[in-house]
Amino acid sequence: MSDFDTSKILAGIGSLILGSIVGIILFMIGMKGLSEHYKDRRIYDGLVTGGILLIASWIMFFIGAATIWILIGIPFIVVAFILAILSAKSIRNCFHAIAERSGENMFNTAAKLIWIGALLSIILVGFILIWVGFIIAAIGFFTIKDNKQQSTCGYTPPPPNTQPPPPTTGTKSNFCPNCGTSIAPDATFCSNCGKQI
């Protein structure tokens, strides 16, 4: 089993049991592995930021709920709600990054449900949407494929037997030896496929 397979299974199982400490740990380990696989720091960094904001939100909520005087407790609860929204935004961006890199649209759906759920959490219906969002994310983790073409920003190699066009005389442009795209004479990387010249 590859690192990619292990990471996606850990993230999938973690998202199913995210309400537990074990689920959070599995989810974080899986997401770290996927972030490294896709070479996209937005995936893991967004999750860490969202987690920190969520913990701060819980602390503010419990302080506000434990306060005897309502007028002092309400500002803590309002700040907790704002932090929870910011947390959901970071997690939403994390899932959008995975969807972009993997090509699996279920992560976009999960991100939308988690975002709407966070906005509606003030009336408690939102928690159900958040839960459904993480279930859909789990399905996405179990169905994504290790597609190297997707993990390199959508680059599709040219079909075999395709020769790059010859440079025209009198111009100083070059062509990428890998994909045949015209590149600047001083370029060190191809702007189309990203290959070093």
Note the pLDDT of residue 43.
92
d(CA 61, CA 190): 51
**3-state SS string over the chain?**
CCHHHHHHHHHHHHHHCCCCHHHHHHHHHHHHHHHHHHCCHHHHHHHHHHHHHHHHHHHHHHHHHHCCCHHHHHHHHHHHHHHHHHHHHHHHHHHHHHHHHHCCCHHHHHHHHHHHHHHHHHHCHHHHHHHHHHHHHHHHHHHCCCCHHHHCCCCCCCCCCCCCCCCCCCCCCEECCCCCCEECCCCCECCCCCCEC
Overall pTM surpassing 0.75 (yes/no): no
For residues 113 and 126, the answer to whether their CB atoms sit within 8 Å is no
pLDDT of residue 180: 77
- The pLDDT tens digits along the chain (197 residues) read 679 999 999 999 999 998 788 988 999 999 999 999 999 999 999 999 999 999 999 999 999 888 877 778 889 989 999 999 999 999 999 999 999 999 999 999 999 999 999 999 888 889 999 999 999 999 999 999 886 544 344 445 556 655 655 555 555 457 788 777 788 778 787 877 877 77
Instruction: Give the pLDDT confidence score for residue 158 in this predicted structure.
Output: 57
pLDDT, position 194: 77
What is residue 179's predicted lDDT score, i.e. its pLDDT?
A: 78
Output the pLDDT for position 153: 47
pLDDT at 73 (0 to 100): 85
